[in-house]
Amino acid sequence: MLPVTLGELRSSEFGKESYRKRTIKDEMRMNLIRKLQENTPIFSGIIGYEETVVPQVVNAILSRHNMILLGLRGQAKSRILRGLVDFLDERIPVIAGCEISDNPFTPICRRCRDLIQEMGDRVPIEYRGRDDRYVEKLATPDVTIADIIGDIDPIKAAKGGHAIGSELSVHYGLLPRANRGIFAINELPDLAGKIQVGLFNIMQEGDVQIKGYPVRLPLDVLLVFSANPEDYTARGKIVTPLKDRIGSEIKTHYPASLDQGVAITEQEAWMRRNSGHSILVPEFIKQIVEGIAFKARSDQRVDKRSGVSQRLPISCIENVISNAERRSIVGGEEHAVARIADVYAAMPAITGKIELEYEGELKGAENVARDLIRQAVQMIFRQYFPTTDFKQVIDWFEMGGSLKLSDTETSGALLARLANVQGLLDKIEVLGARPDSPPGIRAAAAEMILEGLHSVDKISRSEERGFTASSERKQSQDLYRDYSMERNRHKKPLN
């Protein structure tokens, strides 16, 4: 049974001397040390930062630092900030009705001090959970000092008969309401300079001033920020004194490997559907979708300063699955199997996620997206088939074969047509498509091989005719044939 009055609280576990003097940063430090000793995960749902970002965040907490996370969009900055609540106590006692979660043993607001003087140990106590102690604000140009710090409320002063400069006339902003908790500001450079100046005292001296009146509030707050490094360094929108008062500057990054990216996408994307059709996404499709983001981040036509968010492969794989799901519903198939055609159908999830440079704008977002898909297919195709000989398949097309595929064609019908390509189905087991695999898996693997051969210019593909013989190879063959005919025509007959 938790204490419900100040008197009961004094004689409880919360009443220990060590607890009374503990700050929010001490509390987080102690809980973090306990996690490290027990070897429990530091952050849940954070992949790829185990050796880079997480140790730096741990060091910042152990150092009792305010911190800022610098990174491009889609690098889990907000998730890390929100994950800091895991280092807070499960609950803390506060004076009932207090707007700023006052510590019952050392209250700082005038109302709570007056209440204790009037009621003594009978002052009622309530409790705040972890989530109640996290306050987050997205910085926008219209944010005012009153939003963050607070303001004098003349109506409140008039109704209570208080002086304008009295603490009892204050309407608290977000920062005081985060007392004994975490206050996070996303996109700090977008915060007006005068608002940033208002954060100085709370970070250094631990108090705030409201409207120039001598209202002292020695708040107990951990301040954390996020920012885009381009805004932070090049534009210089974070005022220097504030930057100087931030203890740790931690840089985030995109996944370092394709496997990390795939793991993040699988964790975040909505892949388990309830349409009654079994969803099957081959591993090579996941890798291609992730490869699109990797290729985009290094492409000269894509703006590096904006970055390519991890939301791109997440949204893309969801669209890929949806297209496969639609096909299985319409065609009455048991399995909804994702294939290459579905990746092209998911281009709306790609074009909106990339900011283009001038060269990219000239070419157009859709053409850039198609090229990125082709590059990703080529990368994955080379990983699975570094030295495989596809001469039989290529010869089939060079002898006049052509094959046009559709993203609406059922797996059974598609597989039957793909079986006509000489030697194609003999190669699909490398992609995980065994003879007993569902038709959709086998068809997806065969289509992947054709798209891979197209990506390395072994065969051609057009919107009108589909897959055909490589135009370059066909052109060289035609030139050789013409040359041979011309040579034979001028050759002298033997006597």
Q: Is the pLDDT of residue 327 over 90?
A: yes
Which of 3.40.50.300, 3.20.20.100, 3.30.460.80, 3.40.50.11610 would CATH assign to domain 6-251?
3.40.50.300
Q: What are phi and psi of 301, to 5 degrees?
A: -85, -10
Mean pLDDT in residue range 85-96: 94
Mean pLDDT in residue range 417-425: 94
- Model pLDDT for residues 309-318, shown as the tens digit of each residue: 999 999 999 9
User: Given its phi and psi angles, is residue 396 left (phi above 0), alpha (psi -120 to 50 degrees) or beta?
Assistant: alpha
Of 7, 100, 24, 75, nearest in space to 312 by CA: 75
β-strand partners of 223: 183
Q: Where in the chain is the domain with CATH 3.40.50.300?
A: 6-251
Contacts of 38 (CB under 8 A, 6+ apart): none
pTM of the model: 0.86
User: Which of 17-26, 41-50, 236-245, 339-348 has the highest mean predicted lDDT (pLDDT)?
Assistant: 339-348
The C-alpha atoms of residue 279 and residue 282 are separated, in whole angstroms, by 10
* H-helix segments, 152-268: 154-160, 174-177, 193-197, 200-204, 229, 240-245, 258-268
pLDDT of amino acid 33: 96
Mean pLDDT in residue range 286-304: 95
393 and 456 Cβ atoms separated by less than 8 Å: no
Q: Is the pLDDT of residue 132 over 90?
A: yes
Q: What is the DSSP letter of 230?
A: I
The C-alpha atoms of residue 388 and residue 390 are separated, in whole angstroms, by 6
- Model pLDDT for residues 437-456, shown as the tens digit of each residue: 999 999 999 999 999 999 99
Q: Name the pLDDT band for 7 (thresholds 50, 70, 90).
A: very high
337 and 360 Cβ atoms separated by less than 8 Å: no
The C-alpha atoms of residue 34 and residue 65 are separated, in whole angstroms, by 18
Q: Is the pLDDT of residue 208 over 70?
A: no
Q: Is the pLDDT of residue 234 over 50?
A: no
Mean pLDDT in residue range 38-43: 90
Q: Name the pLDDT band for 150 (thresholds 50, 70, 90).
A: confident
| Distance (Å) of CA 372 to CA 296, 351, 354, 436 | 7, 11, 11, 33
Amino acid (one-letter) located at 231:
D
The C-alpha atoms of residue 283 and residue 451 are separated, in whole angstroms, by 16
Tell me which of 77 and 171 has the higher pLDDT.
77
Percent of the chain with pLDDT over 70: 91
pLDDT of amino acid 202: 74
Q: Kindly report the average pLDDT of the chain as a whole number.
A: 88
Find where tokens 């992609």 sit.
431
Percent of the chain with pLDDT over 90: 63
pLDDT of amino acid 493: 52
pLDDT of amino acid 479: 45
For the purposes of burial, counting CB atoms within 10 Å of the CB of 495, is it exposed (0-12), middle (13-18) or buried (19 or more)?
A: exposed
Tell me the CA end-to-end span of the chain in Å, nearest whole number.
118
15 and 9 Cβ atoms separated by less than 8 Å: yes
- Model pLDDT for residues 353-398, shown as the tens digit of each residue: 999 998 999 999 999 999 999 999 999 999 999 999 999 999 999 9
pLDDT of amino acid 153: 76
Mean pLDDT in residue range 8-37: 90
Grouping H, G, I as helix, E, B as strand and the rest as coil, residue 168 is helix
Tokens (6 digits) for 101: 């979660």
